[in-house]
């Protein structure tokens, strides 16, 4: 938001300097971003008078002028090529060393065609102040030489630019800024008074609203027999000082009110409007050429203003070229309306239109100002362009914006950290427009002004909320009571000065800071390092997949379907990261990279919540080594990946058991699960199901695994004991058992391990043998058992006793017998 110091003085009586104004703006939350002195670069230019002008002896189009530049520098000779340079006129003189902004050059003293030239006589275009090219600027006859041209022309103004937060729509006007500065004690606010303009005839145009959700209230009136043309100099200077281009008197008037009062207006050329009614309605996929020269298609979600011929304006954002005012305009219809901020923001975003009107409407404008603003705009149009005004016509009704807010005085210090007296708090609110309605010793109730749309807005929870009706009502009442009070406290603190609030550090929770990572996050980080060390490359995929793809990897309930997916084939929350990994493998294989090892650690979603899954996939063959061919991936490779992750996360290998209970998307005969205890499945592994691979376009096996780190409990904090190292030698014995072919090897190992826990330290498989020499339907399972004595060396009798216990335990568990 830009404004000039002189413009601010129209609304604020103050003797404060620019520095004091900027400091106050920063103190009350209107951050100053830039300050520019308009006349700073024009300071070297001086008024002067041509005493004599003669033709240059060596150039027909040049004249040698004797110029009076004032008492300090006296007479100076200047060579000038302007056709209007003549004796007696007052001019603008640039001495040597002056930077000329319109030419982007610096004046130097020298000779031109043999004649000395000690400066330059300038046009307004060369000063960057106009477009005239008929010669040098001619100043009034009574101009005295030697005066600063910036002071002479009133160009010593200052432009201040401030940053506006989205909630402060009221500060998007010079009047609103003056109101805040006056409340901060920097002067007195001049009241805004609009003289009523009595209509002399009935307006031939009427309003109609068929889209009240987007526009609840609109006013308008015709002004006929106007004469449009260039705006007066004061109006052009005011707009150009803040970076706006002057268009014409009628257009400049609407721009003036946009910045002066924060009240956007629009003027239609009444003779170009078809029919006798302007309707505020929804768009109907029509095309409108806007004032920026671009074509836009408006939909049923967009609010437009239409006449009998179609859309003539994107309501509240930009008018149409068809009904814009020109120099030939004689009758205008002035529109002043209230538009819903959300509808304005959505339409502006949809169409990609940025305008000063949109910027204000989507932040909220003064809901009580349309009548006064229309009267003031009518008066200015008639003053500058003539004409006579009709009666005011309207549609809809002024919204009920009146509301109260309550402040408990004790809360100012409790929430704001600053002790402020009750009288001072009420006075500050009064200066900001919050009129006190009632007050007692502990609180005050104020009426919220019409321009503060950000304070005490009603809170309504979503009707589709899963909360009970009683709970919704309780929350609405609680928020409606607390939020306005916080808004009022913020206003009081802001005007008093946020810089006066002492900085207070947050209380420390503990002298010793806690762990940076939770155990769950630490497990994920460790699993990531382990899988990367095993040669797998990490990928990051979407948390949603196609619905039909999700169904191949488990339940895909409708409750986990996306109502507004980013793509049609990404409409289901994934049950596992495997679909994304398989898709990535398919894309790489299609591009000539069939040997893959990928993993992802991310969320899997089910109706009862989400869980973290470390999933991996291998395809093709392992990397070749010198003298060795790459190995084909098998389900045992996937088991090794999953097992390594679990062991790194603190799971004891003795606690893991393997079972053939893998999910349906794995190969039924080449897969399994790793369990902790009888029920907890910590991982699944195996080849993916052949039908799944066939649908995905793979003609070779692909192995995968899923590890569920969330099912691993947090480690207990206990002091680690020193390892019990024995000084005696261990004893190793091999056993070969004959068992049925469907006997799980895991059952044999577990039974042998539990036969004598005080001596047996490890049991491992070293052989599985199947042959026709063995009895039908049986296999040989060879295991190695390590016995570690602690007190005394084992004797042959002791070893034999333990061996008998091992054979007996295996027989009881699996019916397997010792092979002879």
pLDDT at 477 > cutoff 50: no
Same-domain status, 666 and 769: no
Residue 680 lies in a domain: yes
pLDDT at 311 > cutoff 60: yes
The pLDDT of residue 719 is: 62
What is the mean pLDDT of the segment spanning 518-535?
93
pLDDT in tens, 709-723: 999 877 666 566 677
The pLDDT of residue 133 is: 61
The pLDDT of residue 478 is: 42
CA distance linking residue 427 with residue 185, whole number of Å = 11
Closest Cα partner for 453 from 428, 426, 487, 406?
A: 487
Residue 718 lies in a domain: no
What is the mean pLDDT of the segment spanning 61-78?
92
The pLDDT of residue 715 is: 66
Closest Cα partner for 307 from 292, 296, 322?
A: 322
CA distance linking residue 171 with residue 179, whole number of Å = 9
Please check whether residue 291 is in contact with residue 284, taking contact to mean a CB–CB distance below 8 angstroms.
no
pLDDT at 600 > cutoff 90: yes
Residue 110 lies in a domain: yes
Region of poorest pLDDT, from 104-118, 470-484, 747-761, 791-805: 470-484
What is the mean pLDDT of the segment spanning 248-264?
95
CA distance linking residue 559 with residue 621, whole number of Å = 40
Same-domain status, 428 and 528: no
Residue 401 lies in a domain: no
CA distance linking residue 805 with residue 754, whole number of Å = 10
Q: Indicate the pLDDT class of residue 538, thresholds 50, 70 and 90.
A: very high
Residue 799 lies in a domain: yes
Where residue 96 sits, what CATH number does that domain have? 2.40.50.140
| Residue ending a domain, choose from 107, 128, 152 | 152
Same-domain status, 105 and 217: no
Closest Cα partner for 783 from 755, 793, 673?
A: 755
- Measure CA of the first residue to CA of the last residue in the chain; give whole Å: 97
CA distance linking residue 756 with residue 427, whole number of Å = 88
The pLDDT of residue 718 is: 56
Residue 575 lies in a domain: yes
CA distance linking residue 303 with residue 218, whole number of Å = 13
Where residue 793 sits, what CATH number does that domain have? 3.30.70.380
Same-domain status, 542 and 656: yes
490 assigned binding-site residue: yes
Q: Indicate the pLDDT class of residue 504, thresholds 50, 70 and 90.
A: confident
The pLDDT of residue 457 is: 63
Q: Indicate the pLDDT class of residue 481, thresholds 50, 70 and 90.
A: very low
Residue 266 lies in a domain: yes
| Structure tokens that stand for 42 in this block | 């024009």
Please check whether residue 20 is in contact with residue 27, taking contact to mean a CB–CB distance below 8 angstroms.
no
The pLDDT of residue 630 is: 62
pLDDT at 463 > cutoff 70: no
Closest Cα partner for 307 from 288, 294, 326?
A: 288
628 assigned binding-site residue: no
Q: What angle do CA 614, 764, 797 make, to 5 degrees?
A: 150
Closest Cα partner for 336 from 376, 380, 384?
A: 376
292 assigned binding-site residue: no
Helix (H) or strand (E) holding 310: strand 310-314
pLDDT at 528 > cutoff 90: yes
Same-domain status, 656 and 572: yes
Same-domain status, 50 and 99: yes
435 assigned binding-site residue: no
CA distance linking residue 454 with residue 30, whole number of Å = 16
| CB atoms closer than 10 angstroms to residue 118 | 18
CA distance linking residue 70 with residue 72, whole number of Å = 6
What is the mean pLDDT of the segment spanning 291-302?
94
Same-domain status, 32 and 60: no
Where residue 173 sits, what CATH number does that domain have? 3.30.56.10
What is the mean pLDDT of the segment spanning 270-286?
95
Where residue 481 sits, what CATH number does that domain have? 3.30.56
The pLDDT of residue 103 is: 87
Q: Indicate the pLDDT class of residue 819, thresholds 50, 70 and 90.
A: confident
**Location of structure tokens 């300071």:** 43
Q: 356: buried, middle or exposed (CB in 10 Å: 19+, 13-18, 0-12)?
A: middle
Where residue 590 sits, what CATH number does that domain have? 3.30.930.10
Q: Indicate the pLDDT class of residue 606, thresholds 50, 70 and 90.
A: very high
Find the DSSP H helices in 534-673.
547-551, 578-590, 635-648
Q: 389: buried, middle or exposed (CB in 10 Å: 19+, 13-18, 0-12)?
A: buried
Give DSSP secondary structure letters for 33-102. EEEEETTGGGTT-EEEEEEEEEE-TT-TT-EEEEEE--TTT-EEEEEE--TT--TT-EEEEE-TT-EETT
| Residue ending a domain, choose from 711, 745, 775 | 711
Same-domain status, 13 and 111: no
pLDDT in tens, 374-411: 999 999 999 999 999 999 999 999 999 899 999 999 99
Same-domain status, 163 and 142: no
**Location of structure tokens 């003064």:** 366
What is the mean pLDDT of the segment spanning 628-654?
87
pLDDT at 535 > cutoff 60: yes
Same-domain status, 595 and 689: yes
Q: Indicate the pLDDT class of residue 623, thresholds 50, 70 and 90.
A: low
Same-domain status, 166 and 138: no
The pLDDT of residue 387 is: 94
Give DSSP secondary structure letters for 589-620. HHTT---EEEEEEEEEEETTEEEEEEEEEEES
Same-domain status, 633 and 488: no
Which H, E and C letters describe 434-482, residue by residue? CEEEEECCCEEEEECCCCCCCCCCCCCCCCCCCCCHHHHHHHHHHHHHH
Number of independent structural domains in the chain:
6
Closest Cα partner for 785 from 812, 752, 816, 758?
A: 752
- Mean pLDDT computed over every residue of the chain: 89
**Location of structure tokens 């005239």:** 132
Please check whether residue 172 is in contact with residue 9, taking contact to mean a CB–CB distance below 8 angstroms.
no
| CB atoms closer than 10 angstroms to residue 721 | 6
Give DSSP secondary structure letters for 743-790. --HHHHHHHHHTS-TTTEEEEEEEEEE--TTSPTTEEEEEEEEEE--S
Please check whether residue 38 is in contact with residue 208, taking contact to mean a CB–CB distance below 8 angstroms.
no
Region of poorest pLDDT, from 33-42, 429-438, 547-556, 662-671: 33-42
Residues of the domain holding 487: 409-499
The pLDDT of residue 757 is: 87
Please check whether residue 123 is in contact with residue 131, taking contact to mean a CB–CB distance below 8 angstroms.
no
What is the mean pLDDT of the segment spanning 463-484?
49
Query: Strand, helix or coil at 140?
Result: coil
Residue 194 lies in a domain: no
Q: Would you give the DSSP letter of residue 623?
A: P
| Residue ending a domain, choose from 680, 711, 742 | 711
């Amino acid at each position: 938001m830009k404004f000039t110091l002189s413009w601010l003085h129209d609304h604020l009586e103050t003797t404060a300097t620019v520095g004091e104004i900027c400091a106050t703006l920063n103190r009350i939350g209107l951050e100053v971003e830039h300050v520019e002195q308009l006349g700073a670069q024009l300071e070297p230019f001086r008024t002067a008078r041509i005493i004599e002008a003669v033709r240059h002896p060596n150039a027909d189009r040049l004249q040698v002028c004797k110029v009076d530049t004032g008492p300090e520098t006296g007479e100076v000779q200047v060579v000038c090529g302007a056709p209007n340079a003549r004796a007696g006129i007052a001019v603008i003189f640039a001495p040597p060393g002056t930077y000329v902004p319109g030419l982007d050059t610096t004046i130097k003293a020298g000779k031109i065609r043999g004649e000395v030239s000690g400066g330059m006589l300038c046009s307004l275009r060369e000063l960057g102040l106009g477009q005239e090219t008929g010669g040098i600027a001619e100043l009034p006859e009574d101009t005295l030489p030697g005066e600063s041209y910036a002071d002479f022309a009133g160009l010593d103004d200052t432009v201040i630019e401030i940053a506006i937060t989205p909630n402060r729509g009221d500060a998007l006007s010079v009047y609103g800024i003056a109101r805040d500065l006056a409340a901060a004690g920097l002067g007195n606010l001049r009241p805004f008074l609009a003289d009523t303009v009595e209509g002399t005839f009935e307006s031939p145009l009427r309003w109609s609203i068929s889209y009240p959700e987007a526009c609840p209230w609109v006013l308008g009136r015709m002004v006929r027999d106007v004469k449009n043309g260039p705006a007066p100099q004061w109006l052009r200077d005011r707009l150009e000082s803040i970076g706006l281009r002057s268009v014409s008197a009628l257009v400049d008037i609407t721009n003036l009110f946009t910045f002066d009062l924060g009240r956007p207006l629009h003027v239609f050329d009444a003779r170009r409007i078809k029919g006798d009614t302007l309707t505020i309605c929804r768009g109907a996929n029509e095309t409108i050429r806007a004032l920026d020269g671009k074509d836009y298609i408006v939909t049923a979600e967009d609010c437009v203003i239409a006449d009998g011929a179609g859309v003539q304006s994107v309501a509240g954002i930009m008018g149409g070229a068809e009904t814009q005012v020109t120099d030939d305009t004689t009758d205008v219809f002035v529109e002043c309306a209230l538009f819903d901020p959300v509808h304005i923001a959505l339409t502006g975003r949809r169409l990609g239109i940025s305008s000063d009107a949109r910027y204000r409407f989507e932040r909220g404008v003064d809901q009580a100002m349309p009548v006064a603003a229309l009267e003031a705009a009518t008066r200015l149009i008639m003053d500058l362009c003539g004409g006579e005004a009709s009666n005011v016509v309207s549609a809809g009704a002024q919204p009920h914006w009146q509301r109260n807010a309550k402040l408990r005085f004790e809360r100012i210090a409790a929430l704001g950290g600053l002790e402020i007296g009750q009288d001072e708090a009420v006075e500050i609110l009064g200066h900001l427009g919050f009129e006190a309605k009632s007050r007692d010793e502990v609180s005050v109730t104020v009426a919220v002004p019409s321009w503060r749309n950000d304070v005490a807005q009603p809170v309504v929870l979503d009707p589709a909320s899963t909360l009970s009706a009683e709970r919704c009502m309780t929350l609405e009442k609680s928020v409606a009571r607390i939020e306005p009070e916080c808004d009022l406290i913020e206003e009081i603190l802001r005007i008093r000065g946020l810089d006066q609030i002492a900085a207070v550090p947050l209380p420390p929770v503990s002298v010793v800071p806690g762990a940076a990572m939770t155990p769950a996050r630490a497990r994920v980080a460790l699993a990531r390092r382990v899988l990367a060390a095993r040669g797998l490359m990490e990928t990051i995929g979407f948390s949603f997949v196609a619905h039909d793809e999700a169904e191949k990897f488990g339940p895909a309930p409708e409750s986990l379907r996306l109502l507004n997916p980013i793509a049609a084939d990404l409409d289901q929350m994934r049950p596992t990261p495997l679909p994304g990994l398989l898709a990535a493998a398919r894309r790489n294989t299609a591009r000539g990279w069939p040997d893959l090892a990928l993993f992802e650690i991310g969320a899997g979603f089910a109706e009862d919540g989400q869980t973290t899954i470390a999933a991996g996939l291998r395809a093709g063959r392992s990397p070749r080594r010198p003298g060795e061919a790459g190995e084909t991936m098998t389900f045992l490779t996937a088991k090794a990946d999953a097992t390594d992750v679990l062991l790194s996360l603190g799971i004891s290998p003795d606690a893991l058991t393997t079972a053939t209970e893998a999910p349906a998307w794995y190969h039924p005969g080449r897969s399994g699960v790793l369990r902790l205890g009888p029920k907890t499945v910590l991982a699944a592994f195996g080849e993916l199901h052949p039908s799944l691979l066939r649908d995905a376009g793979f003609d070779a096996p692909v192995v995968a695994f899923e590890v569920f780190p969330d099912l691993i409990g947090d480690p207990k904090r206990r002091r680690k004991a020193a390892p019990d190292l024995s000084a005696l030698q261990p004893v190793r014995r091999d056993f070969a058992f004959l068992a049925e072919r469907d006997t799980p090897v895991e059952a044999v190992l577990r039974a042998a391990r539990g036969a004598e826990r005080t001596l047996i330290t490890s049991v491992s498989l070293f052989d599985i043998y199947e042959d026709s020499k063995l009895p039908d339907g049986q296999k040989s399972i060879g295991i190695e058992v390590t016995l570690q004595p602690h007190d005394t060396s084992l004797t042959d009798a002791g070893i034999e006793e333990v061996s008998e216990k091992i054979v007996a335990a295996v027989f009881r568990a699996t019916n397997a017998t010792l092979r002879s």
